[in-house]
Amino acid sequence: MPGLKQQFEDILKPIYQYMIDPSQISCEDDIVLMLKSQIRKTKEVSPTQWEVFQQLPKVLTKNKDSFGSLFETINYFLCVGKIKLAEEPENLKTLYLMADRALFTVNPNQTINNSEGAIMIQLLFQVMTGSTALDSIFEEVLNRVGQRMQDTSHMPTHLKKHILGIFMSAMNYNSQLTVQYLESKSMTAGLIQELSQIKSSFTHEYEKKVFVIGLSRMLQC
């Protein structure tokens, strides 16, 4: 019932307005979860919800670069709003920069936060597979991922597998671009060696799928 849906969103608009400055409220997580619930229920992202989307980096800042409840909500924006995101690269860049902040943060719970950043970048590549939406920032993203890989001061296996998963997800997005990038940086052999050394740590079905599909795409090039 479109009319009822609009009425309900009109009721929520004053609540969404609080997200303009989440530093001044203590209920931002509730609003973030409300967004997720509404997108999941309606299977669409409304114009008002896209406006709130622009405020999500402020929530990440308040959370000291930890995604927390933001993660699932952004996943819904990605999956349900895929077409609009592909048409508006600046919004994809916003998501990438949020993920980059989490990937490089040294705030408490660093391994968890860095891993969330890595997985978010994986999701960007996976959801946008079949498009050219990330081509404009492709090299920038992989340069930063490579930079994080070189920082071995904090690189437990749990984190490393997620960072390597970014390269495998990039293979899924565009294997030719990824192989060209790896070759240009003389990274191919090292990447294969790293994957071989930690392949037993890919224990979850999602991780195994990323690993297998990525390697398969690489071998096809």
The residues, ordered by sequence, that sit 6+ positions from 214 with a Cβ below 8 Å of its Cβ are 165, 167, 168, 169, 170, 171, 172
What spatial distance separates the first Cα and last Cα of the chain, rounded to whole Å?
Answer: 49
In this structure, the answer to whether residues 218 and 126 fall within a common structural domain is: yes
| Averaged pLDDT, 98-121 | 96
Quote the pLDDT of residue 1. Answer: 53
- Say if residue 165 is in the same domain as residue 220: yes
What is the per-residue pLDDT for 113? 95
**Which of these, 160, 52, 71, lies nearest to 124 by C-alpha position?**
71
Say yes or no: 114 and 174 in one domain.
yes
Residue 11 lies in domain: 1-80
Global pTM exceeds 0.85: yes
The per-residue pLDDT for 221 is 80
pLDDT digit string (tens) for 48-61? 999 999 999 999 99
Q: How far apart are CA 158 and CA 180, in angstroms?
A: 27
Q: What is the pLDDT of residue 199?
A: 86
Answer yes or no: do 120 and 205 share one domain. Answer: yes
Q: Can you give the pLDDT at residue 157?
A: 93
Residues 62 and 139 in one domain: no
> Does 126 lie in the same domain as 68?
no
147 part of a folded domain: yes
Chain-centroid distance of CA 79 in Å reads: 11
The per-residue pLDDT for range 13-63, each reduced to its tens digit, is 888 898 999 999 999 999 999 999 999 999 999 999 999 999 999 999 999
Domain boundary among 62, 80, 98: 80
- Which of the listed residues 32, 61, 80 is the one where a domain comes to its end? 80
Same-domain status, 75 and 138? no
pLDDT (tens digit per residue) in 123-171? 999 999 999 999 999 999 999 999 999 999 999 999 999 999 999 999 9
Distance (Å, rounded) from C-alpha 110 to C-alpha 103? 9
Judge if 123 and 205 occupy the same domain.
Answer: yes
Residue 174 lies in a domain: yes
Q: Domain count of the chain?
A: 2
Q: Please check whether residues 115 and 61 belong to one and the same domain.
A: no
Helix (H) or strand (E) holding 189: helix 188-198
pLDDT band at 89 (very low <50, low <70, confident <90, very high): confident
Verify that 71 and 137 share a domain, yes or no: no
